[in-house]
Amino acid sequence: MPKRMCVLTALLLVLAVSASAFANWTGTITIWDCPRWGNEEDDKFHWIKGKIAEFEASHPGVKIELVETPWAELGEKLSVAIAGRAWPDIVPVDISGAINRNHLEQGVVEALDDYMTPEELEDFFPGALEAYTYKGKLYGIPMSMSVHVMLLNLDHFAEAGVEPPENGRWTWDEFVEKAKALTFDSDGDGVIDKYGFSTYILPGYYEAWPFFYMDGAQPIVNDEFGFNTPEAISAIQKLVDLKFVHGAAPVEMGSSDVGGTFRALAREGERFVAIQPWNSWAIATVTGEGVNHMPNVMVAEYPIGESGRPITIGGAGGWVVMYQKDRSKLDVVVEFAKFLSTTEEQYTFALNYGTFPSRKSTEAMDPFADQPLMARAAEMLEYAVTVPEHPNWAQIDARIQAELQLIFAGEKSVEQGMNDAAAQVQRLLR
């Protein structure tokens, strides 16, 4: 046999063996996921469990291990896992968050450009892809988009004799007047028991932040801290005054009690707050069945401040594939991540999870034809901004939110708290 033929035969044999090993990879894939929407048994992991069963059935020898993780613990838990070099194979990205730039710089996240065809990429909205792109490479698969909205309990409005904002749009002054009118003693015992507004403050969560942007401020401007500018101080002060000057918010406003805040709006038998900001996932919760079902609810924009726009915060949720030493395993891991992010699955999320699809093909299925509240929320995407993309954002965010908690607890003035935050944050921006 000619030498050239021998080399070609050997090469084909190597390729055939490699392809066979590649196609026949077996083993365990570990995925972390966080609560989604509940089923009849209130199992908020039922969707991912079903997808795991489907994938395992079509891939003999592949086992998917699910690690159920609370959203609030995800970031810290992943950082610990990375430090111990024991990260999972796939992790979710919160719909209000972004991919962690530190993890990308550390090289522990896989770039997926080679696994996405031009046709696949074209099906995603540009903004969704942008949220997962860093230095020209794609680090994840966008699954859904979201936006923060104001939820209004119209029964509370009716009880107080207050008209809701027309088409859900209001100025800051109009918002304040309605919040004050919605605060009253409902049972005549001389004690205020109904309030106009409340929200919570917690690292990694941004329901309150559009208020801080409304006069034109941003948390970071040209690598400088921006929440101690006059625009930021005035906006934060307005929300603080709603509680301490106007008395239109309960004492709990500004605490880290996420669950208690939501119950005050939506839980049957506990509803004593008329207006709260939430991520759009909450729309599905308050319009679904169960104790959090609100019979009469409205979706409204954030109040318009000096910026002249009803600014809100948006995000793109999805899946990130962590670094794989075994490159043959990587193919199967990516296949599973894509399996979770199809047009059909995004449609399921739109119907049940209160999110907007990141795929054009899903939007074409018109998932919100019978959901006017979600359709109204979708209009707010026009005014959505994202939280800053900075390698130290998690640390920066934690320091800002800690100072905001002190401000809303009445322990610091707005100016003092934000100047204290600036002193801590500025060195993280360099």
pLDDT classification of 78: cutoffs 50, 70, 90: very high
Selected residue with higher pLDDT from 339 and 394: 339
Q: Residue 14: is its pLDDT beyond 90? A: no
Across the range 315-331, mean pLDDT stands at 95
pLDDT classification of 97: cutoffs 50, 70, 90: low
CATH number of 27-146+314-374: 3.40.190.10, 3.90.70.10, 3.30.1330.200, 3.40.50.970?
3.40.190.10
The pLDDT assigned to 21 comes to: 41
The pLDDT assigned to 389 comes to: 80
The pLDDT assigned to 98 comes to: 66
- Chain-centre distance for alpha carbon 224: 25
pLDDT classification of 13: cutoffs 50, 70, 90: very low
pLDDT classification of 44: cutoffs 50, 70, 90: very high
- Diameter of the chain by CA atoms? 102
pLDDT classification of 226: cutoffs 50, 70, 90: very high
Lowest mean pLDDT among 12-16, 35-39, 144-148: 12-16
Q: Residue 9: is its pLDDT beyond 50? A: no
Distance between CA atoms of 207 and 305, rounded to whole angstroms? 16
The pLDDT assigned to 75 comes to: 86
The pLDDT assigned to 96 comes to: 65
Contact assessment for residue 279 and residue 353, using Cβ atoms and an 8 Å cutoff: no
CA dihedral of 267, 273, 276, 278, whole degrees rounded to 10: -10
Going from N- to C-terminal start, the domains of the chain cover 27-146+314-374, 148-312+387-429
Torsion sign, CA atoms 241, 247, 248, 252: positive
**CA end-to-end span of the chain, whole Å?**
65
* Residues whose CB falls within 8 Å of the CB of residue 67, separated by 6 or more in sequence, listed in order: 30, 31, 32, 33, 88
The pLDDT assigned to 4 comes to: 47
User: For residue 378, what are its two tokens?
Assistant: 């979708």
User: How does the average pLDDT of the chain come out, rounded?
Assistant: 92
Are the folds of 27-146+314-374 and 148-312+387-429 the same?
yes
Question: Residue 170 in 3-state DSSP?
Answer: coil
- What are φ and ψ of residue 359, in 5° steps? -100, 140
Burial of 3 by CB count in 10 Å (0-12 exposed, 13-18 middle, 19+ buried)? exposed
Question: Residue 369 in 3-state DSSP?
Answer: coil
Distance between CA atoms of 407 and 214, rounded to whole angstroms? 18
- What are φ and ψ of residue 195, in 5° steps? -125, 155
Dump pLDDT digits (tens) for 353-369. Answer: 888 999 999 999 999 99
Lowest mean pLDDT among 14-23, 48-57, 139-148, 192-201: 14-23
Dump pLDDT digits (tens) for 137-194. Answer: 999 999 999 899 999 999 999 999 999 999 999 999 999 999 999 999 999 999 999 9
The secondary structure of 403-415, three-state, reads HHHHHHCCCCCHH
Across the range 222-229, mean pLDDT stands at 94
From 201, 314, 186, 173, select the one nearest 260 (Cα to Cα).
201
The pLDDT assigned to 325 comes to: 95
Within 243-351, strands assigned E span: 273-279, 297-300, 312-321
Tally of residues, the chain: 430
pLDDT classification of 390: cutoffs 50, 70, 90: confident
pLDDT classification of 23: cutoffs 50, 70, 90: low
Dump pLDDT digits (tens) for 266-319. Answer: 999 999 999 999 999 899 899 988 899 999 999 999 999 999 999 999 989 999
Topology annotation, domain 148-312+387-429: D-Maltodextrin-Binding Protein; domain 2 (3.40.190)
pLDDT classification of 20: cutoffs 50, 70, 90: very low
Give the CA distances from residue 111 to residues 50, 276, 338, in Å, rounded to whole numbers and listed in that order.
27, 38, 14
